[in-house]
Amino acid sequence: MRLVMLGAPGAGKGTQADRLAERYGVPHVSTGDLFRAHFRQNTELGQTARRYMQEGHLVPDDVTEAMVWQRLGEADAHRGYILDGFPRTLPQAEHFDAALSAANWRLSGVFHVEVDRAVLQSRLTGRRSCPECKATYHVQFDPPSVADVCDQCGARLVQREDDRPETVAKRLTVYHTETEPLVQYYARQGLLRTIDGNQSMDEVTASLTEQLALIGLAHD
């Protein structure tokens, strides 16, 4: 199974990718998480990426692609993966296609999680993240049982620096210009499946499960 989750910041890609990854036993590969892990470890790549991320800009394609190729080459990704946040530009998608063809691999599907802009805004500004285990919460839609404390590991939750309102607006604009063209790109390849992401988390998971069954990826 090789899936791509496509959608605006805050659409719920990460939330759903986590659920599918657990169910199908393949890794959830989030480029945002990989960049954040790099800057926590203070690597050169992390320093570079952070400068772009803080401003709500995309990290340059070459830097991003090198990191993704390395991650997808690891042993746990040989059976497949769920990509969340990659590809995000047309050149990334084209290079990825070339790399897949060279390896004689094909994507199983691209899920476009569609959410209204007003909803995205409130999802992003209310998002809280665990800096230790990367679990995601929402102050209103998915609060932890103790305010600001991670249910899974007890760490103190934080707001990502790019989830502040000023940066959120910029990221939504960048999504529109840089990433949205990928919807047409994958539709032309017959890979695109559209999901209504305005629904509750469980309803979105149910829609994804239905669509996966249609492409022959039912589980159990």
Query: What is the binding site for Zn ion (CB under 5 A)?
Result: 130, 132-133, 135, 150, 152-153, 155
| Among the listed residues 2, 3, 4, 7, the single contact to ligand ADP using CB under 6 A | 7
Q: Token digits for 112?
A: 């476009």
Q: Token digits for 92?
A: 């990334």
- When the beta carbons of 71 and 171 are compared against ligand ADP, the nearer one is 171
**Residue 17 CB coordination number (10 Å):** 26
User: Residues in contact with ligand ADP, total (CB under 6 A)?
Assistant: 35
CB 133 within 8 A of CB 125: no
The whole-angstrom separation of Cα 22 and Cα 136 is 15
Write out the binding residues for ligand ADP, residues 147-186 only, by CB under 6 A: 162, 171
The whole-angstrom separation of Cα 137 and Cα 135 is 7
How, if at all, do strands 127-129 and 109-114 pair?
unpaired
| Among the listed residues 137, 150, 191, 208, the single contact to ligand ADP using CB under 6 A | 137
| Among the listed residues 20, 21, 24, 32, the single contact to ligand ADP using CB under 6 A | 32
Name residue 110's beta-bridge partners: 4, 192
Tell the smallest beta-carbon distance from residue 158 to ligand ADP (Å).
Answer: 12
List the single partner that 132 binds among Zn ion, ligand ADP, none, CB under 5 to 8 Å by kind. Answer: Zn ion
Report if residue 35 touches ligand ADP, rule: CB under 6 A.
yes
List the single partner that 130 binds among ligand ADP, Zn ion, none, CB under 5 to 8 Å by kind. Answer: Zn ion
Displacement of CA 70 from its chain's centroid (Å): 17
Active site residue 79: no
List the single partner that 123 binds among ligand ADP, Zn ion, none, CB under 5 to 8 Å by kind. Answer: ligand ADP
Active site residue 88: yes
Closest CA to 78 of 25, 34, 5: 25
| Among the listed residues 1, 6, 53, 110, the single contact to ligand ADP using CB under 6 A | 53
Q: Token digits for 170?
A: 């910029």
Closest CA to 45 of 20, 67, 24, 61: 67
Which residues belong to the active site? 13, 88, 127, 160, 171
